[in-house]
C-alpha cells in the first residue's frame, strides 16, 4: 500500500505547535495590554489626586498670603500641608530666596516652580480647583467690617431669613471673607429669585462706613489712571455686593457712565479700578512668592514611559514564555503523535501480517491502540475461521462427491450392476450433499439478514410432540429413550417450521452422542415474557475447553470423527442463527460423563382467544 504523504501544514504536530504559539502570543499580548492599561489608569488616578492636592496647597497658601502682610509664620502651614499630602513644599521669593521649606535645610529645589502665589492677580477661592485671573476674595484689607458693622448686618440677615420663612422660602446665612452676611437659598445659591415686598428692605445691600471709607480711598488710588485714560477722575463707582462681597470683581463704573461713554471707556475705567485696588490692597497681602512642589511640573499629562532596560525585560520575558510554550508543546505533541504514527505504520502493513502496536499509555491514544489490537485480533481470527470454513466446506462436499463419482465410474466400466442397493447408496450420498448445501444456504441467509420467518402462535406441547415423533425411529434404533414435558398453556411467537428445524438439530445431535439405554428429554416452560426450551441428554458430555466452541461452524469435539458419526458441523451454528433471528438466545451447559443441556429462550405469545 502506498504511503500517503501528509502536507506539512496539515500535520498534527504542526497544528499543535501553531495553536500553542498562537495562544502564548495572545496571552502575552493580553497580559501586556492589561498591565499597561492598569498601570496607566493607576498613574492617571494618582496624577489626578496629586493635581487636586497641589491645587489645595496653592489655595491654602494663597489664602494665607491674602490675609497676612508677610510670610513670617507660614512655616507651620507648610509643614502641616506637607504632612497631609506627602509632598515637599517650598516657598521662595522671585529671586529664589527661601521663605519656607518642608524639606531639611540644604535640600536642592526642583528645577521649576509649580505655581506663583499672588493673591492680587490669581483667584483660587471663587472656584475650587481652578486658578482665575483677578484678586483673591480673601484679600479684603480695608474692606473688612468692624464687629459692630457685622452685628448690625447679621441682625438684618436674620430678619430677612425670618421674613422669607414666613413665605415658605428656606434660606441659609453665609459670611463673605470681609465679614458681610449673605442670605442664600437652601441649595447654596444666592437668593436672587422671588423676593416678597415685605422682605425687600435693602438693609443688606447698603454699604457700611468701613466700606464707604475704603471705596473713597479706592477712588483716589484710581484717579491718576483715570486721568491718563482721558476719563474724569471723579467717575463714580458702582459698589456691587455679591456672594463674596469682592470689590475687585464687583466695583465698576456707574451705569450712567457706561451709557454716556461707551463700552471702551467702561473697560478702561475697569482696568484703572483694578490697578487702584491692587495698590490699595498691596500693604495688606504678602509679597509674591514662588511655590515648588515635589519633583517638578505637576501639570504635565500623566504618561507611562518605558525605559530601554524595562523594554528589554518585557521582550525577554515574552520570548522566554514563547520558548517554554513551544518546547512544552513540542514535547507533548511528539508524545501524542508517536502512537498515532505507530498505528499508521501498523495499519499499512500487509493484511496477512496482522500487525499489533505496543500499548504504552492509558490515555485516549492507549485506548485507541488497544482497540486497534483487538480489531487486528478479531480480523486474524475471522481470517482463520474463513480459511477453516473453506477447508471444511471443501471436505464436506468432497467426500460424498468422491463416493458418487467412484460408483458411477465403476458402473460405467461395467464392474458393478446398477441395482437397487447401488442406487440407494448414491441417493444417500446425494441427500448428504443436499443437507450440507441447505445448511450453508440457511447460514448465508441468516448472515445476510434475508432469512424470512413466518411467525405465528405455536403451542409448545404440539411442537415438542412433532419433533419427538420425527426422531422416534432414530432414537429407538440407537436404543435411546425420547421423552417430552411441558407446562400447561405455553405458547411461542415463532416460525413453526424453523423452530422444528432448530429442535430437530438439537435432538439429532443429542441422540447421536447418547449411548444405548440413555435418555433425551425435551421440556418447555414459561419464564415471564419468555419460553424456555431445553434439550437434555445423558450422553458423554462436552469438555469445558470445548464448550465455548460448540456453536462455531464445522466445529467437532473429536476432529477424527467423520461427518457420518460427528455430523457436518453446521447443525449447532444453524441453531444459534435461527434462535437469534427469532430474538432469542441459545446456551449450552455440560458435565463430562453425565450429559449436556441446550437451552433456548424465545419470546412467548398469549394463547389464542386471550387478547
| pLDDT recorded at residue 226 | 81
**Spatial CB neighbours of 508, under 8 Å, sequence gap ≥ 6:** 471, 474, 567, 571
Rounded to the nearest integer, the mean pLDDT of the chain is 80
* Helix/strand/coil for 603: strand
| pLDDT recorded at residue 483 | 93
The answer to which of 130-134, 423-427, 521-525 has the lowest mean pLDDT is 423-427
For the cut 60, the answer to whether the pLDDT of residue 305 exceeds it is no
Higher-confidence position of 54 and 47: 54
Q: Across 116-120, 380-384, 396-400, which has the greatest mean pLDDT?
A: 116-120
Given pLDDT bands bounded at 50, 70 and 90, which one contains residue 396?
low
For the cut 90, the answer to whether the pLDDT of residue 610 exceeds it is no
For the beta sheet containing 98-101, the strands, ordered from the edge strand earlier in sequence to the opposite edge, are 98-101, 89-92, 289-293, 115-117
| pLDDT recorded at residue 400 | 77
| pLDDT recorded at residue 134 | 84
- Mean of the pLDDT values across residues 151-164? 90
pLDDT one-digit tens code per residue, 63-110: 999 999 999 999 999 999 998 888 899 999 999 999 999 998 888 888
For the cut 80, the answer to whether the pLDDT of residue 447 exceeds it is no
| pLDDT recorded at residue 247 | 47
pLDDT one-digit tens code per residue, 165-194: 888 888 888 888 888 898 888 766 554 556
| pLDDT recorded at residue 221 | 84
| pLDDT recorded at residue 201 | 78
- Residue 144's nearest CA partner among 219, 250, 66 is 66
Given pLDDT bands bounded at 50, 70 and 90, which one contains residue 125?
confident
- Mean of the pLDDT values across residues 465-480? 90
Higher-confidence position of 377 and 118: 118
CA neighbours closer than 13 Å in the CB half-sphere of residue 133: 2
Q: Tell me, what DSSP letter sits at residue 604?
A: B
Q: Tell me, what DSSP letter sits at residue 109?
A: P
**Spatial CB neighbours of 106, under 8 Å, sequence gap ≥ 6:** none
- Mean of the pLDDT values across residues 280-308? 70
- Mean of the pLDDT values across residues 356-363? 76
- Mean of the pLDDT values across residues 402-426? 83
Contact 304, 43 (CB under 8 A): yes
| pLDDT recorded at residue 375 | 85
For the cut 80, the answer to whether the pLDDT of residue 507 exceeds it is yes
| pLDDT recorded at residue 552 | 78
| pLDDT recorded at residue 569 | 65
| pLDDT recorded at residue 567 | 54
For the cut 90, the answer to whether the pLDDT of residue 40 exceeds it is no
For the cut 80, the answer to whether the pLDDT of residue 542 exceeds it is yes
Contact 509, 536 (CB under 8 A): no
| pLDDT recorded at residue 301 | 43
Higher-confidence position of 258 and 377: 377
Given pLDDT bands bounded at 50, 70 and 90, which one contains residue 11?
low
pTM of the shown model: 0.45
- Mean of the pLDDT values across residues 415-432? 80
For the beta carbon of residue 272, count every other beta carbon within 10 angstroms.
Answer: 23
- Mean of the pLDDT values across residues 316-334? 76
Phi-psi region of 166 (alpha: psi -120 to 50; beta: other; left: phi over 0): alpha
Higher-confidence position of 4 and 110: 110
| pLDDT recorded at residue 437 | 80
For the cut 50, the answer to whether the pLDDT of residue 297 exceeds it is no
| pLDDT recorded at residue 590 | 92
Name the CATH architecture for the domain at 452-603.
2-Layer Sandwich (3.30)
The answer to which of 187-191, 211-215, 392-396, 560-564 has the lowest mean pLDDT is 560-564
Higher-confidence position of 297 and 187: 187
- Mean of the pLDDT values across residues 595-605? 93
pLDDT one-digit tens code per residue, 454-464: 889 999 999 99
| pLDDT recorded at residue 307 | 60
For the cut 50, the answer to whether the pLDDT of residue 24 exceeds it is yes
- Mean of the pLDDT values across residues 367-389? 79
Domain boundaries, the chain: 1-116+292-348, 141-284, 364-445, 452-603
| pLDDT recorded at residue 586 | 93
The long-range contacts involving 37-41, CB below 8 angstroms and separated by at least 24 positions, are 39/304, 40/302, 40/303, 40/304
For the cut 70, the answer to whether the pLDDT of residue 212 exceeds it is yes
CA gap 433, 208 in Å, rounded:
145
Given pLDDT bands bounded at 50, 70 and 90, which one contains residue 227?
confident
CATH of segment(s) 364-445: 1.10.287.130
| pLDDT recorded at residue 319 | 76
Contact 176, 243 (CB under 8 A): yes
Phi-psi region of 296 (alpha: psi -120 to 50; beta: other; left: phi over 0): left
CA neighbours closer than 13 Å in the CB half-sphere of residue 63: 13
Amino acid at each position: 500500500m502506498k504511503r500517503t504523504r501528509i502536507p506539512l501544514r496539515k500535520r498534527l504536530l504542526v497544528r499543535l505547535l501553531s495553536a500553542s504559539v498562537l495562544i502564548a502570543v495572545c496571552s502575552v499580548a493580553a497580559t501586556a495590554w492589561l498591565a499597561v492599561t492598569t498601570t496607566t489608569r493607576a498613574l492617571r488616578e494618582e496624577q489626578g489626586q496629586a493635581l487636586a492636592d497641589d491645587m489645595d496647597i496653592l489655595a491654602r497658601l494663597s489664602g494665607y498670603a491674602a490675609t497676612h502682610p508677610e510670610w513670617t509664620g507660614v512655616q507651620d502651614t507648610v509643614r502641616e500641608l506637607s504632612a497631609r499630602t506627602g509632598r515637599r513644599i517650598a516657598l521662595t521669593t522671585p529671586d529664589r530666596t527661601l521663605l519656607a521649606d518642608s524639606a531639611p535645610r540644604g535640600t536642592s529645589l526642583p528645577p521649576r516652580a509649580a505655581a506663583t502665589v499672588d493673591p492680587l492677580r490669581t483667584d483660587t477661592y471663587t472656584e475650587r480647583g481652578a486658578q482665575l485671573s483677578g484678586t483673591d476674595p480673601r484679600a479684603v484689607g480695608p474692606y473688612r467690617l468692624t464687629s459692630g458693622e457685622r452685628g448690625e448686618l447679621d441682625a438684618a440677615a436674620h430678619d430677612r431669613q425670618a421674613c422669607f420663612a414666613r413665605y415658605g422660602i428656606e434660606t441659609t446665612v453665609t459670611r463673605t471673607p470681609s465679614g458681610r452676611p449673605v442670605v442664600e437659598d437652601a441649595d447654596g445659591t444666592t437668593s436672587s429669585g422671588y423676593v416678597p415686598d415685605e422682605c425687600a428692605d435693602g438693609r443688606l445691600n447698603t454699604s457700611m462706613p468701613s466700606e464707604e471709607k475704603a471705596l473713597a480711598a479706592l477712588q483716589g488710588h484710581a484717579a491718576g489712571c483715570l486721568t491718563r485714560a482721558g476719563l474724569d477722575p471723579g467717575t463714580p463707582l458702582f459698589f456691587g455686593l455679591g456672594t463674596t462681597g469682592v470689590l475687585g470683581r464687583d466695583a465698576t463704573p456707574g451705569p450712567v457712565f457706561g451709557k454716556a461713554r461707551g463700552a471702551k471707556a467702561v473697560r478702561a475705567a475697569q482696568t484703572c479700578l483694578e490697578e487702584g485696588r491692587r495698590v490699595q490692597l498691596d500693604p495688606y497681602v504678602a509679597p509674591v512668592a514662588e511655590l515648588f512642589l515635589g519633583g517638578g511640573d505637576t501639570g504635565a499629562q500623566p504618561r507611562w514611559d518605558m525605559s530601554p532596560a524595562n523594554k528589554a525585560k518585557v521582550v525577554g520575558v515574552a520570548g522566554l514564555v514563547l520558548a517554554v510554550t513551544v518546547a512544552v508543546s513540542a514535547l507533548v505533541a511528539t508524545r501524542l503523535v508517536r502512537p498515532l504514527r505507530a498505528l499508521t505504520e501498523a495499519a499499512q502493513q500487509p493484511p496477512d501480517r496482522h500487525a499489533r502496536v505496543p500499548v504504552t499509555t492509558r490515555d485516549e491514544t492507549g485506548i485507541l491502540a488497544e482497540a486497534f489490537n483487538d480489531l487486528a485480533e478479531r480480523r486474524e481470527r475471522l481470517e482463520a475461521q474463513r480459511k477453516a470454513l473453506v477447508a471444511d466446506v471443501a471436505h464436506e462436499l468432497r467426500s460424498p462427491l468422491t463416493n458418487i463419482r467412484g460408483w458411477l465410474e465403476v458402473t460405467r466400466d461395467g464392474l458393478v450392476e446398477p441395482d437397487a442397493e447401488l442406487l440407494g447408496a448414491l441417493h444417500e450420498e446425494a441427500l448428504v450433499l443436499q443437507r450440507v448445501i441447505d445448511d450453508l444456504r440457511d447460514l448465508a441467509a441468516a448472515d445476510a439478514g434475508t432469512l424470512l420467518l413466518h411467525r405465528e402462535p405455536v403451542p409448545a406441547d404440539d411442537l415438542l410432540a412433532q419433533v419427538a415423533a420425527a426422531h422416534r425411529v432414530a432414537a429407538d434404533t440407537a436404543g435411546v429413550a425420547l421423552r417430552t414435558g411441558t407446562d400447561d398453556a405455553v405458547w411461542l411467537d415463532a416460525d413453526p417450521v424453523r423452530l422444528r428445524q432448530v429442535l430437530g438439530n438439537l435432538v439429532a445431535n443429542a441422540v447421536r452422542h447418547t449411548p444405548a439405554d440413555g435418555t433425551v428429554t425435551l421440556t418447555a416452560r414459561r419464564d415471564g415474557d419468555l419460553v424456555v426450551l431445553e434439550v437434555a441428554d445423558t450422553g458423554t458430555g462436552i469438555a469445558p475447553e470445548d464448550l465455548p466452541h460448540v456453536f462455531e461452524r464445522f466445529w467437532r469435539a473429536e476432529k477424527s470423527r467423520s461427518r457420518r458419526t460427528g455430523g457436518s458441523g453446521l447443525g449447532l451454528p444453524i441453531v444459534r442463527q435461527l434462535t437469534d433471528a427469532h430474538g432469542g438466545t441459545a446456551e449450552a451447559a455440560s458435565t463430562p460423563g453425565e450429559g449436556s443441556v441446550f437451552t433456548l429462550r424465545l419470546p412467548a405469545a398469549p394463547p389464542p382467544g386471550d387478547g
